[in-house]
Amino acid sequence: MVSVVPVVRTLEPAPSPKPSKPLLRRATRSGTIRKSDEADLDGDLFSVPSSPSKRARVTFNPTVEEKIMSPYSARGRSLEVIREEVRMAIEAHKKGDSADYDAMKQVFIPKKDGDGEDDKEEDDEDGEDGEDGEDREENEAIARAELKTYLLAVTSCVSLLKGCSSLVKAVLSCDWLGRDESFVKAYINFLGNLVSAQGAHLGRVLEMLVGHFHGVRFSSGRLPGYPDVSRNQLSSRVHVAVKHLLDIIPSAGTTLSQIINSKFPFEDESKKAHMTYINNLIYLLRYAPQLKSDVFSLITDRLVKIDVQMQVDLDDLDDDVAAAIVQAITMNASTRGDNDNGERSDDSDAESVASIDSLDEDAKRIKGVQDSVEKMDAILDLLFSIYDPYFLDPNSLEATEMFETLLGHFQKIILPTYRSRHTQFLLFHFAQRADYLVDQFAGTCAQLAFDTSRPAVIRQSSAAYLASFVARGIHVQPHVVRTVFDLIGSKLDNIRAENELTCRGPDLRRYSTFYAMTQALLYIFCFRWRDLLLPSDLFDEDDSAAFRAQDLHWIPSVKETLFRTIHSKLNPLKICSPPIVSEFAKIAKHLEFMQVYPLLETNKRIRLSQYTTGQGAGAIRDSGMGGSDDSWHQLDAYFPFDPYQLPVSKRWIEKDYVQWKGIPGLNQDDDDSGDEEIDETVDVDVDTDDTATDGEDDE
């Protein structure tokens, strides 16, 4: 504790600085000016007794007005004295006298910019600049020492703080991060004592600390009279405080989990805000591993929301503009480091906002989309790097547990989200680290796809994930492709056998699982038909003659299963997405695997609305204005592992991905287009009439 001997100055010989007022006395309502005879010093907690036998240490001229210069003026008093003052002020507050209590709160509330300017001007008038500067420095030093003393005094009185929320709030608003280490330790000790004695304040304390997860201000480490503190040190102090609270109150983890959820940046906030917050959450897991599941689940949930909104925004832009945005991000990432070291000035975001305000509406929209893509890209790149160490040994217990966590996120967050575009590649990448992980993910998708207790939309989405994973996963072995193909085929036979006799015609609402799984088979066939050949069939793919029917031998049941399914009364080729059907028809005809163009010609004359039933009833569905459009009654061409577009994080999945391989002799002129041809076919809606035209051209 710093002990300071008060300086006594006489007022009569010459003008001198005004006497400081006791700390727990506040100004009158009329302002900061009051007469000395109104000070009621005899009744003050800090005043000396009014006994005539004792001479006052300071004499006052009753004609001189006293101006309050600083709330810090209790000089030379011990911790024991101040502790008693704090206790009495709290007790008086509870009895209705809050004068000293309110003044005590001002000790902790940070000064705003400009506070003390009037005092400085008056000092310049009353004395020499050098002397005034020394006085100010002395007062500031005393204030700093007394702030800590009052903090220690309040800490010793935490048991009395019930009903003193305003005082607690004032202490929590204190500029504590940038002060010396002894003060920081005392402050963290106060937080621990407070939540131990007054559990009702736990949420408020944690909210204050988690608020710093958004980033501590650079200026917080530049407090007058204290050594500079780096931003990393400031952040570290926040985490030391959080760890201390979790150590003394283990159950605080539940409250902390709720708070970090509520404090997560909004979707439209900047990339820097998201990255800073997520990095702090990951740092939190170093000392609070029990929150790992909650933290990763939260990040995934918010990432999916950003993912979907980003895709909606990209879809609203012209394709050339969207491509230019991705190219610009790629160039930016190559010319500067993508990781922010966090030491930028606090004005950087304001400058960015100012530059955006100068753009027109179209430019703002494009800039907003670009920011969203960069943000999504950076967050996913960070998550890949965070998850990666868990899978260094894919057969370890650590890898197994983490993949279970990812599977949980997939089932609860990613799968139910309509058209998530990139988040699911976390599963795609890490599921291919080991054969048992491939089986686990494919098995989960298959189980969900055939679970009749699940909503139809979940079963359809699961089928799309299964097909896309098997088709696009380069580490998915041929035997897995065959196993999945056989499993889907047997399930389709069961569904067909149960419904074909009563089927009136193609009906997506009634037989949605059948159509979703059929489309999955068609998609898998387009990409992995080579794995459906007998192992003895070895051929040179550059030799187009090798693709003659007599030279290709398919594993048992592949051709028969697809034939029964396609030519069933449920007529899946009328319901499945036309681009997928078109691609399958071309490949099957070229390989002399199957001829489906006659069926496609027949399907041109079928109007799906005549077979569509109303939900929960057997009546014919009237689709209104869209009733004559077959696309309203057909499956989407949605395959969640279509090409990955984010330029920076793309590096994680490049070696995991099956690119489209052209077939010699089929569309020979387009063989060099590579993956773009099939992806464009899949992603762009095509009318059924176009499919028939393609068939006629091939014939």
Structure tokens at 134: 């020394």
Distance in angstroms (rounded) separating the CA atoms of residues 270 and 278: 12
Q: Give yes or no for residue 50 having a pLDDT over 50.
A: no
The pLDDT tens digits for 651-669 are 999 999 998 887 777 765 4
Identify the pLDDT of residue 43. Answer: 34
Task: Give me the pLDDT at residue 336, please.
Answer: 55
pLDDT at 630: 72
Residue 59 φ/ψ region, left for φ over 0, alpha for ψ in the -120 to 50 degree band, beta for the rest: beta
Reported confidence tier of residue 490, pLDDT bands at 50, 70, 90: very high
Torsion of CA 239, 241, 244, 249, to 10 degrees: -100
pLDDT(532) > 60: yes
645 vs 622, higher pLDDT:
645
- In angstroms, rounded to a whole number, what is the distance separating the alpha carbons of residues 17 and 67? 10
* pLDDT at residue 633, as a whole number: 82
Quick count: other Cβ atoms within 10 Å of Cβ 9?
11
Output 241 or 18, whichever has higher pLDDT.
Answer: 241
Give the pLDDT score at 632: 78
Nearest to 644 by CA among 379, 305, 331, 377: 377
In DSSP terms, which residues pair with 310 in a beta bridge? none
**What is the enclosing helix (H) or strand (E) of 433?**
none
540 pLDDT band (50/70/90 cuts)?
A: low
Strand blocks (E) in 387-518: none
| Residue-by-residue DSSP string for 603-670 | HTT--GGGTPBPTTS-SBP--GGGTT-GGGGS-----TTSPP--TTGGGGTGGGB----PPTTSSGGG
Closest-CA residue to 452 (of 493, 521, 512): 512
pLDDT at 444 over 90: yes
228-242, 358-372, 390-404: least confidently modelled range: 358-372
Q: Which of 575, 445, 470, 573 shows the shortest CA–CA distance to 526?
A: 470
pLDDT at res. 110? 83
More confident of the two residues 18 and 181: 181
Q: Is the pLDDT reported for residue 151 higher than 60?
A: yes
pLDDT tens string 600-610: 999 888 887 76
Instruction: Please tell me the predicted confidence (pLDDT) of residue 698.
Output: 38
Mean pLDDT of 72-90: 78
Q: How far apart are CA 549 and CA 551, in angstroms?
A: 5
- Round to whole Å and give the CA distance between 220 and 177: 7
- Secondary structure of residue 49 in the 3-state scheme: coil
Q: What is the mean pLDDT of the chain?
A: 78
The DSSP code sequence of 309-376 is HHHHHHHTS-HHHHHHHHHHHHHHHHHS-SS--S---TTHHHHHHHHHHTS-HHHHHHHHHHHHHHHH
Bigger pLDDT: 590 vs 43? 590
Residue 54, number of CB atoms within 10 A of its CB: 9
- What value does the mean pLDDT take over residues 141-159? 86
pTM of the model: 0.76
Asked whether the predicted pLDDT for residue 620 surpasses 60, the reply is no
Quick check: 356 pLDDT over 60?
A: no
Longest dimension (CA), the chain: 125
Q: Which of 63, 70, 71, 75 is nearest to 120 (CA)?
A: 70
Can you tell me which residue has the tokens 């988690």?
Answer: 210
Q: Which residues contact 692 (CB under 8 A, 6 or more apart)?
A: 600, 601, 604
For residue range 285-305, list pLDDT tens digits in order.
Answer: 999 999 999 999 999 999 999
pLDDT at residue 549 above 60?
Answer: no
Residue 152, pLDDT score? 94
How high is the pLDDT of residue 342? 41
78 vs 297: which has the higher pLDDT: 297
User: Contact 575/505 with Cβ under 8 angstroms?
Assistant: no
Q: Which residues make Cβ contacts (< 8 Å) with residue 572, sequence separation at least 6?
A: 506, 514, 515, 518, 519, 565, 566
Question: Token pair for residue 296?
Answer: 């990763």
* Per-position DSSP letters for 367-388, written without gaps between them: HHHHHHHHHHHHHHHHHHHHHG
Measure the CA angle with vertex 23, ends 21 and 26; round to 5°: 75
Please say if the pLDDT value at position 502 is more than 70.
Answer: yes
pLDDT number for residue 77:
72
Separation between Cα atoms, residue 222 and residue 346, nearest integer Å: 13
Give the long-range contacts of residues 675-684, CB within 8 A, separation 24 or more.
675/643, 678/526, 678/527, 678/583, 679/642, 679/643, 681/579, 681/582, 681/583, 682/577, 682/579, 682/580, 682/583, 682/637, 682/639, 682/642, 683/579, 683/637, 683/642, 684/579
Structure tokens at 271: 């990339």
The answer to whether the CB of 174 falls within 8 A of the CB of 138 is: no
% the chain with pLDDT above 90:
53
- Three-state DSSP class for residue 33: strand
Spatial distance between the Cα atoms of 338 and 647, rounded to a whole number of angstroms: 12
- pLDDT for the residue numbered 665: 72
Residue 171: pLDDT band by 50, 70, 90 thresholds?
very high
For the stretch 179-221, pLDDT in tens is 999 999 999 999 999 999 999 999 999 999 999 999 988 888 8
Phi-psi region of 505 (alpha: psi -120 to 50; beta: other; left: phi over 0): left
Number of alpha helices (DSSP H) and beta strands (DSSP E) in the chain: 26, 2
> Worst-scoring range by mean pLDDT, 36-40, 266-270, 420-424?
36-40
pLDDT: which is higher, 339 or 215: 215
By percentage, how much of the chain surpasses pLDDT 70? Answer: 71
Q: What's the pLDDT score for residue 543?
A: 59
pLDDT at 166 over 90: yes
The arithmetic mean of pLDDT across residues 321-347, rounded, is 60
Q: Confidence band (pLDDT; 50, 70, 90) for 349?
A: very low
> Rounded to the nearest 5°, which phi and psi values hold at 230?
-70, 160
pLDDT at 548: 55
Judged on CB neighbours under 10 Å (0-12, 13-18, 19+), 699 is: exposed
Is the distance from CB of 364 to CB of 356 less than 8 angstroms? Answer: yes
pLDDT given for residue 59 in this prediction: 42
| Predicted local confidence at residue 473, as pLDDT | 96
Residue 134 pLDDT level (bands cut at 50, 70, 90): low
What gap in Å lies between CA 470 and CA 485, rounded to an integer?
A: 9
pLDDT digits (tens, 9 = 90+) for 551-564: 788 998 899 999 99
97, 150, 658, 686 from 23: Cα distances, Å: 16, 11, 74, 79
**Statement: residue 474 has pLDDT above 80:** yes
